[in-house]
Amino acid sequence: MVPRDSKPAREWFARLWADLKASTDASLLAILRFVGLLYGPIDTRLPMGAAFRKALRHRLSPEAGWRQAFGGIAYLLFMILVVTGVLLSFYYRPSTQEAYQSIQHIVSGVSFGWLMRDLHVWAANLVVLAALLHMARVFFGAAYKPPRETNWIVGVLLLFSVFAFGATGYLLPWDQWSYWTVTEGLDILARAPIVGGWLVRVLRADPIVSGATLSRFFAIHVIVLPWLVLGLLALHFALVRKHGVAPRVSGTRTGGTGVPFFPHHFLRMVIAGTLVVAVAVTAALLFPRPVAAPANPAQPPGMLFSTWILADVSRALIYYLGGWGFGAFLLLGAGMVLLPIFDRSPARRLRRRPIVAALGVLFFLTFATAWGAGWRLRSVPTATSGELTPFQKQPTGATPGAPLPRIAPASRPATSGSDTTNPGGAP
Amino acid sequence: MTTALTALLTATLLAAPAAGRPAPARPAARTAPTLPAQVPGAMADTANGCLACHAAQRRAATEGVHAEHGVTCVSCHGGDPAAVTLPRGHSGHFVGKPDKAATAELCGSCHSDPDKMREYGLPTGQLAQFRSSKHGQLLFGQHNTDVPTCTDCHGTHVIYPPYDARSRVYPTNIPGTCASCHSDPKLMAKYHIRTDQFAQFRNSAHGVALFQNQNFAAPTCVGCHGAHSELPPTVTEIASVCGRCHVLVEQEFAKGPHGAAARAGKLPGCLACHSNHGTERVAADSISATCDRCHGSNSQVHQFAVDIQHRVVQATADIQSAERAIDQMAAAGQRVGYYRFRFRSGLTYFREIAQKQHRLNLDTLDDLARRVRSVSIDLDSRAKATQESRWEHRLLLLPVWFLSLSAVALALLALRGLRKTNRDSDSSGP
């Protein structure tokens, strides 16, 4: 029912809006600030509208520019992961009976469920990349030096949280690849000195990876880690704002008062964000993660390949360099993490700190090489199908006198074809 | 009182062995007057007295199926296990080391007795079967000692049952047991018998099933030749021997033209195509070549063989493509339970082709091949639909990139404009 004379109604709405603006605490803008839509300090004494405009006009340091984009991109990818993760959790069921079926339902039954899932998978990969690039920028740009060393440590904790996110999320589809990759990963972890055995007992909750492990991983993935990361992120951002953007290696740019957050910096954010979303969607569309055979604890699959960067890297390191190579790389990583705490010299130029530069280059080069190599390592021959035998010749390898071949019963997962063919070729 | 009991015990022990076990009677009678013998359990101590000298055979007293069931040295060898001197120990019903023929008779003295074997559920026809076998004929008829007797296959003192993996007649050990003589060229040369059976068997379909897949339903040597009545099947028997397991294949074979020829003895049954010890599967693409081995490539049969081969090759390709289709759908996250069910029915038709083609009737084959084909086409089309819907997803890339590139372009333009105004205001500023 539209009143014939709309004037009183319009006045009523105008009054409501004015009351709302007057009664709303400007500190609410801190939420916008937290999610990155606002940059400056919030003047909470002002009314909402004035505080908002003031925050928009806030002038950023002249150092802020494209170099800082990777951190923001990692954060955007994390937000994509949160959104797609919540959508997935509407349909996912964390039990050994239903997990696999619910993934099938998400991929083939729910509208755009396939997009949610593949976007989640791809954002999980890209976030590692973005975080590492961000880390490299901070490392080589000497942005970790005092007074920002606390933020370096927070950043490292965030990186580990991202790794833990990936490792726990990897089990959830409950298919052969996830099951056996996690089994393998936990077996490697169990060999870590001192804490390894205990940690694996706590994580696995059972002698083998089982329903108890799935519940535990699910709880860690959707309850523990999100809150942890949210807390760490708040700290990370608060520290960034407290200390400001690090000066350039070549020295502080003098002069210039910087650019206002809106619209200059906001436009850059829009550009980077749009491209990241477009890339993630493209990757998800072109290289969907195939659904492997359902997890079968009694039968390892003929071929095991991961769809997660870290598994690729560690597999390549172990395959080509052996356990010692892997351990050496971990030590190198630990050195990378700890070095900024001890490196307190004011020197910022790379030429002035050759050890740091060499360490960083070695770490990031090894990581990139191992990732590429691990990606190619997937072509492991698969077990042959034992199903279609009536007209196939049996292999005639055995020779009399030679010891009898003891071959396990033809290992053939329910969908062996999905092991041999990887329609998407997703890493 | 004691004397009366001893007398009773002695009488019982004397009477009991008369029924079956003659050997322990005398030792029991002799030890009866001494004190330990009044305790029935003490018999066990004196039963293995032979081991005092024959220490090498001591495992026989504790291991193997005979030790478990109270068969001791004297049960087979006689003598007196309670004796302390050699002459006395080797006295009485002393058998010593029996020759091969006597060994068979000795085993048969218990194993051919239904009353004794009833307890263990064992058959009692082994000795009779052995007499009728080639081995038995040579042993009993010609006193030929090249042939094996019971102990050569089952073991001498420590005898394990056939279901014990240590036994020489455990399924995976049987071919090796037979081969210990039948792969010996020097021994077999005397009888003009080939020695390559074991090598052939090992690579055959049966050998692979037995050794590699541990499938004990697969026949070993004794599956076709008999366990105790070893004889090669005659030409006309072959199809029946194979048909004991391959029942349906044999039925189809018997209905076809080859079946009639085999019954008339003109064709060595299944062996004509599949060979004997090297039982080979005939690959789909070598069917016509197999037919040509006998019929020649210029005969009328050749075209018929090519027709059969064509159908089998086609059906193989169809069923494989159906399987690939299911795998594709599964990898795309589709629920494939129903499609698997459909595939199973196709697989049943496909296996029926393997069976029915022994009848050599093209119409039957055509019918089955059509059914396989229909399953394959159904699943293929469904897989294709899945693939197409996935391809359609990619169309989403167009709006995504159009919108994002436009947004980026607009933002870049705006940035450029802002920089220009900044520069202008800087230059015009104070």
Binning pLDDT at 50, 70 and 90, where does residue B92 land? confident
**A12 residue type, one letter:** W
- Give B405's contacts in chain A (Cβ within 8 Å): 278
Percent over 90 (pLDDT), chain B: 37
Question: How many angstroms separate the CA atoms of A340 and A139, rounded?
Answer: 8
**B83 residue type, one letter:** A
Binning pLDDT at 50, 70 and 90, where does residue A119 land? very high
DSSP string, A253-291: PPS----BIIIIIHHHHHHHHHHHHHHHHHHHHHSPPP-
With a threshold of 0.80, does the pTM exceed it? Answer: no
Is it the case that residue B426 has pLDDT exceeding 70? no
Percent over 90 (pLDDT), chain A: 33
pLDDT tens digits, one per residue of B53-65: 888 888 888 888 8
pLDDT tens digits, one per residue of A260-296: 888 888 888 899 999 999 999 999 999 998 898 899 8
Over chain A, what is the mean pLDDT? 80
The answer regarding whether domain A66-248+257-301 maps to CATH 1.20.810.10 reads yes
Average pLDDT of span A83-101: 95
Is it the case that residue B329 has pLDDT exceeding 70? yes
Average pLDDT of span A382-399: 36
DSSP state of A392: S
Binning pLDDT at 50, 70 and 90, where does residue A254 land? low
How close A349 comes to chain B (CA, Å)?
29
Average pLDDT of span A216-235: 95
- Please give the pLDDT value at position B26: 44
Domain ranges, ordered by start, for chain A: 66-248+257-301
Nearest CA in chain B to A404: B211
Give SS3 for A343: coil
- Please give the pLDDT value at position A134: 93
Neighbours of B398 (CB within 10 A): 9
Nearest by CB: B397 against A285, A290, A392 = A285
pLDDT tens digits, one per residue of A121-157: 999 999 999 999 999 988 888 888 878 888 998 999 9
Nearest of A303, A266, A307, A320 to residue A383 by alpha carbon = A303
Is it the case that residue B120 has pLDDT exceeding 70? yes
Is it the case that residue A377 has pLDDT exceeding 90? no
Cα A132–Cα A138–Cα A139 angle in degrees, nearest 5: 85
Nearest of A360, A333, A348, A352 to residue A144 by alpha carbon = A348
Nearest of A277, A76, A265 to residue B405 by alpha carbon = A277
Question: How many angstroms separate the CA atoms of A306 and A183, rounded?
Answer: 12
Number of H helices, E strands in chain A: 15, 0
The neighbouring-strand residues paired with A260 are A59
Average pLDDT of span A206-229: 94
Nearest of A307, A295, A290, A306 to residue A413 by alpha carbon = A295
The terminus-to-terminus CA distance of chain A in angstroms comes to 57
- A394 in reach of chain B (CB within 8 A): yes
Max avg pLDDT among A175-179, A355-359, B394-398: B394-398
Q: Do B332 and A263 touch (CB under 8 A)?
A: no
Nearest CA in chain A to B199: A400
- Please give the pLDDT value at position B25: 42
- Give B172's contacts in chain A (Cβ within 8 Å): 404
DSSP state of A42: -
Residues with Cβ within 8 Å of residue A208, at least 6 apart in sequence: A183, A297
pLDDT tens digits, one per residue of B290-304: 999 889 888 888 999
How close A49 comes to chain B (CA, Å)?
24
The distance from CA A306 to its chain's CA centroid, rounded to whole angstroms, is 15
- Give B281's contacts in chain A (Cβ within 8 Å): 389-394
Pick the range with the lowest mean pLDDT from A56-65, A229-238, A398-407, B83-92: A398-407
Q: Do B408 and A393 touch (CB under 8 A)?
A: no
- Please give the pLDDT value at position A16: 92
Q: Do B331 and A292 touch (CB under 8 A)?
A: yes
- For residues B220 and B174, the answer to whether their CB atoms sit within 8 Å is yes
- Please give the pLDDT value at position A327: 82
Nearest by CB: B354 against A103, A391, A409 = A391
Residues with Cβ within 8 Å of residue A262, at least 6 apart in sequence: A56, A57
Question: How many angstroms separate the CA atoms of B140 and A415, rounded?
Answer: 59
The neighbouring-strand residues paired with A294 are A175
Average pLDDT of span B196-219: 90
Q: Do A108 and B396 touch (CB under 8 A)?
A: no
Nearest by CB: A114 against B211, B336, B393 = B393
Nearest of B324, B223, B238 to residue B275 by alpha carbon = B238
- Give A282's contacts in chain B (Cβ within 8 Å): 397, 400-401
Neighbours of A326 (CB within 10 A): 20
Average pLDDT of span A168-183: 90
Neighbours of B284 (CB within 10 A): 22
Average pLDDT of span A70-76: 93
- A295 in reach of chain B (CB within 8 A): no
Residues with Cβ within 8 Å of residue B16, at least 6 apart in sequence: B25
